[in-house]
């Protein structure tokens, strides 16, 4: 494998794990993050510090983004110190691993193309442990030539890489993925609370239901942490899942079909974030649901 000159913008939980994976595979990775303190998670592993997104692009052939959402992508690419303001020669390919509205992705890709920057949307799923092992699920949108240029990077990070169609198709698949994840997290929360209310040992359910129609990765991997109230290390923040579920709602409105279960999950996660849980692990919705249940069951004091 030929080492590549890569840039990476966005060193959150996922970005950290992805950068460490790329470094471990021998690539040069230049990094930038809006919150500089997060850079301490990758610089000791060999990442190279840049002063801005433009500086990342100036020293890289391919730039990856993994930031919170559309506003952050816009700023990092088109802002005053963004990727497109790097002096020539600069990176010729951008791989956006953020979760962004598909229509916005198509618009940004068209703008970037006018400046000779090819765009691939490649949102990811699987969490930091999968990123460290190169086993992410990656849903890709873009043209065949750009994807051929990106293949080395995509397959270094992903164990399941699927070309879904033109630019924006990867983001559409990710929105659907987040509908399943968000509704699933809410359902696992309900299952724990229902089992506990019924007097069962809730921790036994994954074993009891293994192999049946209720079995799933959510039941085996997510449910145990919820039942144990064990949310360290975090897999992702509630604010991110709330934002993604809001994107599910928006896409549904655009298509004249808002999926009811995902819409209800969006309402619940947005309420959790509104109550101060935005920086909590997304699996910890149960803490908010418990407090609401307790409040309903507590009689009013005279």
Active site amino acids:
174
Burial of 206 (0-12, 13-18, 19+ CB in 10 A): buried
HSE-up of residue 169 (Cα within 13 Å, Cβ side): 10
Give start and end residues of each alpha helix (H) in the chain. Answer: 13-24, 53-58, 70-78, 102-113, 127-132, 144-157, 169-197, 205-209, 217, 223-228, 238-254, 260-272, 285-297
Nearest to 16 by CA among 37, 161, 1, 3: 37
Q: Answer yes or no: are the C-beta atoms of 39 and 130 closer than 8 Å.
A: no
Give start and end residues of each alpha helix (H) in 138-168. Answer: 144-157
């Amino acid at each position: 494998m030929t080492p590549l000159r890569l840039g990476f913008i966005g060193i959150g939980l996922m970005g950290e794990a992805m950068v460490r994976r790329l470094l471990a595979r021998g690539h040069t990775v230049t990094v930038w993050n809006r919150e500089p303190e997060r850079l301490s998670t990758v610089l000791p592993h060999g990442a190279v510090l840049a002063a801005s997104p433009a500086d990342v692009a100036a020293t890289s052939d391919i730039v990856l983004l993994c930031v919170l959402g559309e506003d952050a992508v816009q700023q990092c690419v088109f802002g005053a110190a963004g990727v497109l303001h790097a002096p020539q020669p600069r990176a010729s390919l951008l791989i956006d691993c953020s979760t962004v509205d598909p229509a916005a992705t198509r618009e940004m890709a068209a703008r970037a193309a006018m400046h000779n920057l090819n765009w691939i949307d490649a949102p990811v799923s699987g969490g930091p442990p999968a990123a460290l092992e190169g086993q992410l699920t990656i849903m890709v949108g873009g043209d065949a030539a750009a994807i051929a240029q990106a293949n080395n990077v995509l397959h270094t990070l992903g164990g399941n890489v699927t070309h879904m169609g033109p630019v924006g198709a990867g983001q559409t698949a990710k929105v659907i993925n987040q509908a399943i994840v968000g509704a699933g997290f809410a359902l696992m929360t309900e299952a724990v609370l229902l089992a506990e209310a019924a007097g069962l040992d809730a921790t036994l359910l994954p074993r009891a239901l293994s192999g049946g129609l209720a079995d799933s990765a959510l039941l085996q991997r997510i449910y145990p942490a919820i039942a144990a109230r064990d949310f360290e290390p975090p897999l992702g923040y509630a604010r991110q899942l709330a934002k993604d579920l809001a994107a599910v709602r928006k896409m549904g409105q655009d298509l004249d079909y808002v999926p009811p279960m995902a819409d209800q999950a969006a309402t619940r996660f947005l309420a959790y974030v509104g109550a101060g849980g935005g920086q909590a692990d997304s699996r910890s919705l149960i803490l908010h649901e418990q407090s609401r249940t307790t409040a309903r069951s507590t009689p009013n004091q005279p």
